[in-house]
Structure 1
Amino acid sequence: MEHNMILSASGWRKVFAESGDQFDSGENIGETNTFLCALIAESFVNYVQNKTRKTKPVIVLGRDSRPTGNQMATAMIKAMLYHKVKIQYLGITAAPEIMAYSKNADGFIYISASHNPIGHNGIKFGMNDGGVLEASQAKLLAEDFKSKLLTVNCQPHAEELLNLTDEKKYAKVLTESKEFKKLAVSSYEKFIKTVITGTEKEKQQEEFFSLLKECVKYNPLSIVCDMNGSARSLSIDSSFVQKCSLGFTAINAKPGEIVHEIIPEPENLVWCAEKMNELQKSGNPAALLGYMPDCDGDRGNMVYWNEKQDKAVPIAAQEVFALCVMAELAFEYWKNPKTKKLAVAVNCPTSMRIEEICKVFDAKVFRGEVGEANVVNLAREKRNEGFIVRILGEGSNGGNITWPSCVRDPVATVFAAVKLLCIRDTVNKKGRVQEGIFHLWCRLSGQENKYKPDFTLSDVIETLPKYSTTGVSEKRAVLDVKTEDKGHLKLRFQKIFMQEWNARKQELLEKYSIAGYECITTNGTKETRNATEWNNGNGGLKVLFKDKSGNPVAFIWMRPSGTEKVFRVLCDVKGDRPQTEASLLEWERALLQKADSNLA
């Protein structure tokens, strides 16, 4: 049986719409996809049984709000009932919600294709550690699934899995779903308090949220969310935000009614911005912050009210991540200035602005390959080495993962900004000023002249390091290459690059202050500096450019996507230099196209 599915540690994905059209908003998945879902569920049941030594493990199942999710879930429930598994079905649930709740179970299956177009769908797997399976375990699961497809009786066996003889068992799963969903929401809300405050101690959590509520009295803040029909429309967002004494307005909040493209990049943040503009004009000056999640509700990028432009403005993904890193590191310093061995784990194409921010707080930066699972596992490795990794993530995609969470969460992203806006300077009983976290950042980064008591988020953003970076959703960030073996493509790129380098050395120095370069490769959690071997398979490849003093000034990066059939490229340049970024990216694209044509 053919599956035509991308099987990566970040998730298994394909177009599940029966028509095969990635933009098809229909709910039917067809017979073949139904069979695949049954076999996928069986593979995971077998995996969990082997790992837990339980014949009837508890598996949590949930889905995002895509139209094909219901039929996929039905097939998986039937296959798991065949194996007498204890199923806790949450229906439509956000990814951070199911992952927080599954800590009480043996494993979870989450049906989602994240930010992919509406006709796509996919599956994420995890045990009970709050995240997806690590790469080595995901590979074992994928191999088991592929072996099932090669058996002679593959299709008859799938039909057997779906032939449910006792419909009452299926009905019971659906009936119990409402109660499990309530438990999941409750677990998630409890967990997000730990994520936001950085402590499990309820007393300290209460002190933090009391401080927040007190701050809001003097600096009112209201948040706007464009749900875009996502799974977050049935999660904690509205109730939790309002419990924190913040205002909350949601648009496109009916689950499943996806009214525009799913990826939360600037071109799709305009709906949230328009709502903020409307609220401001109608007399709601507190509407200062907004966000839009993707379909599974783990990734979310932001919009803010820019009083200097008198309108709501989207924040680019790399800047959202940089803002969150600064906020969380400053928050750690605010709690305890003596905290040592701070670190941040990021993916290879995250902008170098992160190194500048981390340097202020004496924090290390560790880089791994693209993929949430890779960054999460890198952070785990560094924690085992004694580092405090409070925040991690893929800056190239925006959003952030805040410990102890193992998945991106827009609520954590929003509250990083809320901390910046609300935790301001206070005066203690002895008359001493305790600096707020933005004031701390300004002082420690040598920008205290930019601090003022009535600062806004516009003021905060202006203090971040300036870089010009390719957006991942831009057309120029994707390259159509024909070469199947991406390692050989990189070898050919290496040869052509070195020829060009020798020919353009003086020009690069005069135009861009580029005097040297270093090749860096990433595979999983491993980063190789000064790599002489540019063939690292499907991993990430970066050419880091340096000035005469050896300081990084820019980089170009490439990698085949693990979840889509595309080849991604990106450029990052220090400073507000969009023309330099465009020129270097075009150079990279030209060299890759030349390498591809030589191998085609």
Structure 2
Amino acid sequence: MKISISGIRGIFNEDLGIQEIARFSRTFGSYLKNRFPITNCVIARDSRPSGRLISEVVTGSLLEQGIDVYDLGVAPTPILFREARKYTGGIMITASHNPLPWNGLKMLINGRGLFESDLEQLLNTRINEHSQMGRYFNIDSSYVTDILQHIHPSNQSNMDFKVGIDFGGGAACMYTDRLLDTYHVKYLGINDKLGFSSRGPDPTSDPLLDLCNLVKTNNLNFGFAFDIDGDRLVVVSNDGVQLNPDLTLLFCVASVINNSKFKKFTISLDTSLAIEKYVKDHGGQVFFSKVGESNVLRRMIETHSESGGEGSSGGFILPNFTSCRDGLLASVIISSLNQDLIKECMTISSNFRQIRTKYPINTKTDNKILLEKILSALKPQSVDVIHTDGLKFILDDDSWILIRFSNTEHVLRISLESTIDRLDSLFESLNNKIVEVYEKIQ
């Protein structure tokens, strides 16, 4: 089981069982009771097989703590975040991009995810004695109506735009078709039956062969692939090529820059240089955060950034609308792009390539010692080292490598970016050194 600001995650009925789910839900209920005068909580789940049972346990545990529960049923994470602005707390039952046997609880307060200080307080909360039972309500979201106030179809929609959608059998099945209908975007869909998909839950790593073929065969403008809870979006180009997830963020940031006065952007440390360069070339400021949605949001608040996100996850954040990565919002924004802007983004992105991989580590590994050894091994060939989140080595103006421990899995995440001609040789050399360091301390 993994506990972090990204949520509580584990393999259901192995390291994350009913007892753990009930305990964390009761703890969260007590945390809300202790912190806020009004105690209510909105919940939702993605389409994982274990979601319904977990939802019932979460609901019962919160009701027992005297929390009023408002249930959206199956809904994407961005829908829950938007709706959670009306409530004290929120719980999204999801393991996001993790494999289907996983599940988890993503907890919210006042419409945003937990910061590290909130998580510490939550984990130190003692469960209150049983109080008066809370009330239960089934509700619908106002997301589709709300988004119209931010992006009006008469100004932004492209009547000739046609896209392919790979719903991934996830929660986006319940909303994306209605959303694109509202914006008059024509689409063809695959994997659009809830809970059934020919691919895995993470489009940032899954090969999107069916979607690529759909786009190319039908001469569509783009393809959109959602993850199972709808906060990630990966784009397929009009010639049927799966684009790197950083381009999702670049398309959205470029649209924001060209259609607003926004000038401050926060991106995670593992985001492509293409986005940093685009923003600076257009007179904007770029701030960096630790990896993780809540970390990006907290840095946005600190720097008064109007937009940003995580390129590595295809995650765009527009905090005045939703305080999370929002794949649905991104699909609407990208559908409004003109061809000149698309070409500009594709050109600057083509200067860089990324390799993102992960290396399983023993749960007994001393993380501090491992990072110290990696620092000693890689520092000699770096011009700078950033210690904000793990270790980010700046190799030159066009190359960097980030080594950090995952918030969601027992793995070491390795992200490398460079130019096309140097990427493979750099990765082979640096990755071999990291593996060698790890094996020596086991």
**TM bracket, shorter-chain basis:** over 0.9
Is the CA contact (8 Å cut-off) linking 2:44 and 2:93 kept in structure 1?
Answer: yes
Q: Displacement, 1:122? A: 0.6
The structure, 1 or 2, with the larger RCO (C-alpha pairs under 8 Å, 6+ apart) is 2
Is it true that 1:395 corresponds to 2:350 in the alignment?
A: no
1:376 equivalent to 2:297? Answer yes
Q: 2:335 maps to which residue?
A: 418
Between the aligned partners of 1:315 and 1:82, the Cα distance in structure 2 is 47
Cα shift at 1:496: 2.7
2:386 is matched with which residue: 510, 520, 523? 520
Instruction: Report SS of the residue matched to 1:265.
Output: coil
Match of residue 360 from structure 1: 281
Q: CA deviation at 1:92?
A: 0.7
Query: C-alpha separation between the residues in 2 aligned to 1:390 and 1:462?
Result: 23
Q: State the partner residue of 2:225.
A: 292
Which amino acid letter does the alignment assign opposite residue 299 of structure 1?
R
SS at 1:349's partner residue? coil
The number of residues matched between the two structures is 440
The aligned residue for residue 392 of structure 2 is 542
Could you tell me how far apart the structure 2 residues matched to 1:231 and 1:33 are? 23
- Structure 2 counterparts to residues 253-402 of structure 1, below 5 A: 253-265=192-204, 267-280=206-219, 287-306=220-239, 312-332=240-260, 339=261, 342-383=263-304, 389-402=305-318
Distance 1:540 1:125 in 2: 24
Deviation track 1:356-411 (CA, whole Å, cap 9, x = no partner) reads 1011221111111111100011001111xxxxx33211112213112312111122
1:407 aligns with 2:324: yes
Deviation at 1:267, TM superposition (A): 3.7
- Counterpart of 1:121 (choices 73, 91, 103) is 103
Aligned partner letter, 2:116: A
Residue 44 (structure 2) pairs with residue 62 (structure 1) = yes
Give TM-score, length-normalised by structure 1: 0.69
- Displacement of 1:584 in angstroms is 1.4
Query: 1:140 corresponds to which letter in structure 2?
Result: Q
Shift of 1:461: 4.4
Corresponding residue for residue 145 of structure 2 = 190
Q: CA deviation at 1:588?
A: 1.8
CA distance in 1, matches of 2:282, 2:437: 42
In the alignment, structure 1 segments of 5+ residues that lack a partner are 21-31, 149-153, 198-204, 281-286, 307-311, 333-338, 384-388, 423-437, 442-456, 502-515, 523-538, 547-551
Contact 1:223 1:249 in 2 (8 A): yes
- Look up the equivalent residue of 2:317 and give its one-letter code: I
Q: CA deviation at 1:19?
A: 6.1
Secondary structure at the counterpart of residue 325 of structure 2: coil
Map residues 243-254 of structure 1 onto 2, 5 A cutoff: 243-254=182-193
User: Matched residues in 2 for 1:133 and 1:143: separation?
Assistant: 14
Question: 1:266: Cα distance to partner?
Answer: 5.9
Contact 2:42 2:80 in 1 (8 A): yes
Indicate the residue corresponding to 1:486 in structure 2.
367
Q: Partner residue of 1:143?
A: 124
Q: Report SS of the residue matched to 2:306.
A: strand
**Corresponding residue for residue 420 of structure 2:** 576
> What are the equivalent positions in structure 2 for 1:458-477 lying under 5 Å apart?
459-472=343-356, 477=357
Separation in 1, partners of 2:68, 2:205 = 42
* Separation (CA, whole Å) in 1 of partners of 2:194 and 2:177: 14
Question: In the alignment, which residue of structure 2 is the partner of 1:76?
Answer: 58
Q: Which has the larger radius of gyration?
A: 1
Identity score, percent: 23
User: How far did residue 194 of structure 1 move?
Assistant: 4.2
Say which SS state the counterpart of residue 136 (structure 1) adopts.
Answer: helix
The structure in which a higher percent of residues are helix is: 1
Q: 1:99 deviation in Å?
A: 1.1
- 1 CA distance for matches of 2:350 and 2:197? 34
2:300 is paired with a residue whose SS is: helix
Contact 2:264 2:284 in 1 (8 A): yes
Give the C-alpha shift of residue 465 in structure 1.
Answer: 4.1
The residue number in structure 1 matching 2:32 is 48
Question: Residues of 2 paired with 1:82 and 1:553: CA distance?
Answer: 55
* Structure 2 residue identity aligned to 1:63: R
Determine whether 1:563 maps to 2:429.
no
CA contact (8 A) 2:254 2:345 kept: no
Deviations 1:83-132 (A, max 9, x none): 2321111111111111111211111111000010000001111122x321
Verify the 8 A CA contact 2:300 2:306 in the aligned structure 1: no
**1:481, 1:288 → 2: CA distance?**
41
Gaps of 5+ in 2: none
Deviation, structure 1 residue 521: 1.5
**For the Cα contact (< 8 Å) 1:100–1:188, is it kept in 2?**
yes
The alpha-carbon distance between structure 1 residues 76 and 323, as it changes in their structure 2 partners (threshold 3 A), is same
Cα distance in 2, alignment partners of residues 80 and 410 from structure 1: 29
TM-score by length of 2: 0.92
